[in-house]
Amino acid sequence: METGRIQAAAITGPFDLQSTLESGQTFRWRSADGETYRDAAPHGGEDWYLGLVDRRPVAIRWTGAALEWRSPDDPTEGLRRTLGLTESMADHLASLPDHPLVAAAERAFPGLRVVREPFFATLVSFVLSAQMRVERIHSLVQALAREYGRAHHLDGETVHAFPTPDRLAAATETELRELGLGYRAPYVRETAEMVASGRLTESDVAGREYEDARDLATEFVGVGEKVADCLLLFGLGYREPVPLDTWITTAIEEHFPEVAADSYEATSRGIRERLGPAPGVAQTYLFHYLRHRETLSGQGPATPS
DNA sequence: CTCCAGGGAGCCT
DNA sequence: AGGCTCCATGGA
């Protein structure tokens, strides 16, 4: 079970693997001990996470000083892209706006990064996300992979890829409902069919100016403005999107009341003007912080300055 | 028991 | 465009 050689790379600046992988940006990673999302607060994260990068299985863990991985290939470039390590931490943090709430989020989770995951997995994950908790989105994405995804093997562990569009399009609505998708089952099936048939694909959306890309993405079934923003932010590398979910909307009403508007589009425009050069990065910090600030004990990894 | 979760589709005006 | 209502499911 130790067939894979452990390799490692140092990362400059703070890095928080658990927060990055368990903050509702991606649902494709699971901890090897099966206790993903066991805790709200960061715990140092010395567990191995299993996932795929560039269609190959990878196990990764953060030691506190270096990123370690086991993989049959060299996943370095893909890992850097997936974990948001291609932008420097300095640039990453410098993109955050000067606002007390964002500053508190940065203090609480200084190593949080913005992930970049494959288009189709991100698309389906956030179609599933409607009216669901982060932990349950994760369990459903894992279930889809287990049921329909190709099985890879790594040091005795099985890692399932996210299903292809063809495979999901071939699933029946009944099958998907039995997995627990609820009313999202037909959305997932129809959206998969759109991609599989070429009716609307990644290449149609990518490369467009932000608002054009977002509007086009809403043609997928089960994709409205909010899910489209998530798709662009975590699956296509855009930095403008500020997904307006219940958490962010409440926070806007409390902390940015001047931009709280009636429509999604109006609120989106307003908040984007106030969240710095990379509004989506700031939103990612806010979302994670808002969900966990109640459970942040005074102790945590205190880093007195 | 009720309430809510990273909302969106369908329909109405 | 802007406002309903309904939609599954599980956990608190």
Asked if residue A305 has pLDDT above 70, the reply is no
With vertex at residue A270, the alpha carbon angle to CA A267 and CA A275, rounded to the nearest 5 degrees, is 115
Counting residues of chain A whose pLDDT is more than 90, the rounded percentage is 88
CA distances from residue A116 to A51, A82, A239, A261, A299 in whole angstroms, order as listed: 13, 5, 11, 30, 31
Residue nearest to nucleotide C7 (CA to C1'): A183
Counting residues of chain A whose pLDDT is more than 70, the rounded percentage is 93
With vertex at residue A62, the alpha carbon angle to CA A1 and CA A160, rounded to the nearest 5 degrees, is 50
- What are A113-162's pLDDT values in tens digits? 999 999 999 999 999 999 999 999 999 999 999 999 999 999 999 999 99
Flag residues 73-132 of A with CB < 7 Å from strand B.
129-132
Q: Which of A28, A92, A226, A292 is catalytic?
A: A226
Q: For residue A136, say whether its CB is under 7 Å from any atom of strand C.
A: yes
Asked if residue A3 has pLDDT above 80, the reply is no
Q: For residue A265, say whether its CB is under 7 Å from any atom of strand C.
A: yes
Residue A223: its pLDDT value, please? 98
For residue A115, the tally of other CB atoms under 10 A from its CB is 21
